[in-house]
Amino acid sequence: MSIPSARETFRKFLAQKGLRVTSQRLAIFDAAFARTEHFTAEQLLDYARSIDDSVSRATVYRTLPIMTKSALLREIDIGSGEKFYMPNSAPNIQIAQVVCIDCDRIFEISAPFMEWYGSTVSSKLGLSPVSQRLQVSARCNTLRDTGSCPKRA
């Protein structure tokens, strides 16, 4: 979960798939794993360039699917046009996303019941669940009551 060992996971994943370990891929990886908040592809490009300024937008977009498929990154689509990403420290946990309409923040919260739900729903259709996500849009109670949002920066 520390950066070195996750990076090692990434190297192994690349080797295993017959993919090459390049300085750009490593820079993108390091940039992503230095983040604690959600980020977009464009932001990741900025971060990665501050490590290795030869990184291009195309390579970021080509590397993102590699990282999401290896479960190193979690992809979050809140239907706003652009996708968000997040280092995946615990790949097996079921997580729900709560998007605050007031401050546009994305909160993630463990939702262990979701797995059962997905299985139940799928089996009624003769399907086996691969992944599931619960996405909630919500408003800030504090903002409603006091007129200001404590979560807002």
Which residues bind to a second copy, rule: CB under 8 A?
77, 79, 83, 96, 98, 100-101, 107, 109, 111, 113-114, 117-118, 121-122, 124-142, 144
> Taking the complex as a whole, how short is the minimal distance between the CB of residue 69 and a second copy, in angstroms?
13
Partner whose binding site includes residue 111, from a second copy, DNA, none (CB under 5 to 8 Å by kind)? a second copy
For residue 11, give Cα distances in angstroms to 4, 58, 75, 94, 111. Answer: 10, 20, 20, 26, 31
> Taking the complex as a whole, how short is the minimal distance between the CB of residue 86 and DNA, in angstroms?
14
Return the exposure string of 132-148: e unless at least 16 CB atoms fall within 10 Å of the residue's CB, then b: eeeeeeeebeebeeeee
Distance of CA 103 to the CA centre of its chain: 19
- Per-residue contact string for residues 27-56; x = within reach of DNA by CB under 7 A: -------------xxx-----------xxx
Half-sphere exposure of 137 (CA within 13 A, CB side): 7
Q: Which is nearer to DNA, 31 or 111 (CB)?
A: 31
Q: Which is nearer to DNA, 25 or 38 (CB)?
A: 25
Q: In what order do the strands lie in the sheet with 39-40?
A: 39-40, 84-87, 73-76
Picking from 19, 56, 52, 53, the residue whose alpha carbon sits closest to that of residue 41 is 56
User: Is position 63 an interface residue for DNA (rule: CB under 7 A)?
Assistant: yes
Among 3, 12, 19, 93, binds DNA (CB under 7 A): 19
Partner whose binding site includes residue 20, from a second copy, DNA, none (CB under 5 to 8 Å by kind)? DNA
109 forms bridges with which residues in the sheet? 96
User: Is position 125 an interface residue for DNA (rule: CB under 7 A)?
Assistant: no
